[in-house]
Amino acid sequence: MNVNDELVDKLANLARLEFNEQEKEDIKKDLQQMIGFIDKLNELDTTGVEPLLHMSENINILREDEVSGMISREDAFKNAPLHDEQFFKVPKVIKNN
């Protein structure tokens, strides 16, 4: 596959990007290198090789959730700059129009 200005323009349009002439040349070189790499991979004989779905054979190796190390509400509020009896107070960040 040959990478030309038309292909770069089409990809730029799909990605909603704009490139100057120097950037187009750089992108053409990069795309040509990527396509060359894929072409090189296509030369390999993969007959009998199963597709890789996961990097390891392990399935769901996550630990169970355990509740531990709770602190009291009073301890949680000790370093809070603003709070009331139940909640942390933070500056308003959403403005109504």
Q: Which residue has the tokens 């770069």?
A: 8
For the chain, give the number of residues.
97
Cα dist from 96 to 88, 91, 92, 93, whole Å: 22, 14, 11, 10
**Per-residue pLDDT reduced to its tens digit, 79-91:** 889 998 899 999 8
Asked if 7 and 31 count as a contact pair (C-beta separation under 8 A), the reply is yes
Structure pTM?
Answer: 0.48
3-state class (DSSP) for residue 88: strand
pLDDT band at 10 (very low <50, low <70, confident <90, very high): very high
**Per-residue pLDDT reduced to its tens digit, 14-72:** 999 999 999 999 999 999 999 999 999 889 998 998 888 878 877 777 888 888 888 88
CATH number for the domain formed by residue range(s) 5-42: 1.10.20
Residue among 37, 1, 7, 33 nearest 19 (CA): 7
Domain residue spans of the chain:
5-42
Cα dist from 60 to 37, 39, 54, 64, 79, whole Å: 34, 35, 11, 10, 38
**Amino acid at site 94:** I
